Amino acid sequence: MANAYFDYNLALLAHLRGILIAMGEAEQVSEDDHRLFMERFDELLSRLPDVPEERHLGQDLICQVFHRYPQVAHLVPRDLLWFFGGECLHFMPDDEIAQFQALEDRRYEAEQQGTHFDWAQEKQLLGTPGSGAAH
């Protein structure tokens, strides 16, 4: 399953993990609940590369970030909402979904043609939300 798009999203998950770890270190969340949540998050990070079907766990965890850590919800990379899909799409407005769909269509077309596709670069070209951020 290893490809540039997948690796890009794994890097975003690692970035989000760092944000969540900082929340725990700042003692802004319940220590026990946070520890258990981070164990599940780490399980996702370790299993996702080998078992891509684990995306359902990713959907669940990303949605929980919005409910458990609303103070950092704005820091969740929008790409992760699209990558995991499902319930995560409820946190995206329709126009943003349309922009990510256009980006996905371009990625699919490039794959069909056997050409390289740089998600981050194409995202900037389309002006998709978060394209100027460090996400």
pLDDT per residue as tens digits for the range 62-77? 999 999 999 999 999 9
Model confidence at 134, in pLDDT bands (50, 70, 90)? very low
In a domain, 73, yes or no: yes
pLDDT for the residue numbered 133 = 41
Helix (H, G, I), strand (E, B) or coil at 39: helix
Q: pLDDT (tens digit, 9 = 90+) per residue, 10-32?
A: 999 999 999 999 988 877 777 88
In a domain, 120, yes or no: yes
Given a cut of 90, whether residue 82 has pLDDT beyond it is yes
Model confidence at 2, in pLDDT bands (50, 70, 90)? very low
Phi then psi dihedrals of residue 38, to 5 deg: -65, -30
Taking the model in full, what pTM does it have? Answer: 0.85
In a domain, 134, yes or no: no
In a domain, 110, yes or no: yes
The answer to whether the beta carbons of residues 23 and 72 sit under 8 Å apart is yes
In a domain, 133, yes or no: no
Of the listed ranges 3-7, 53-57, 73-77, 90-94, the least confidently predicted one is 53-57
Among 92, 118, 95, smallest CA distance to 107 is for: 118
For the chain, the domain total comes to 1
Given a cut of 60, whether residue 95 has pLDDT beyond it is yes
Among 110, 50, 100, 56, smallest CA distance to 78 is for: 100
Given a cut of 70, whether residue 131 has pLDDT beyond it is no
List the structure tokens of 62.
């990303």
Domain that holds residue 58: 4-126
In a domain, 114, yes or no: yes
Query: Which amino acid is it at 55?
Result: R
Q: What burial class does residue 31 get, using C-beta atoms within 10 Å of its C-beta: 0-12 exposed, 13-18 middle, 19+ buried?
A: exposed
**Rounded mean pLDDT, 44-66:** 88
pLDDT for the residue numbered 130 = 55
Among 85, 16, 15, 78, smallest CA distance to 57 is for: 85
The answer to whether the beta carbons of residues 129 and 104 sit under 8 Å apart is no
In a domain, 104, yes or no: yes
Percent of the chain with pLDDT over 70: 93
In a domain, 135, yes or no: no
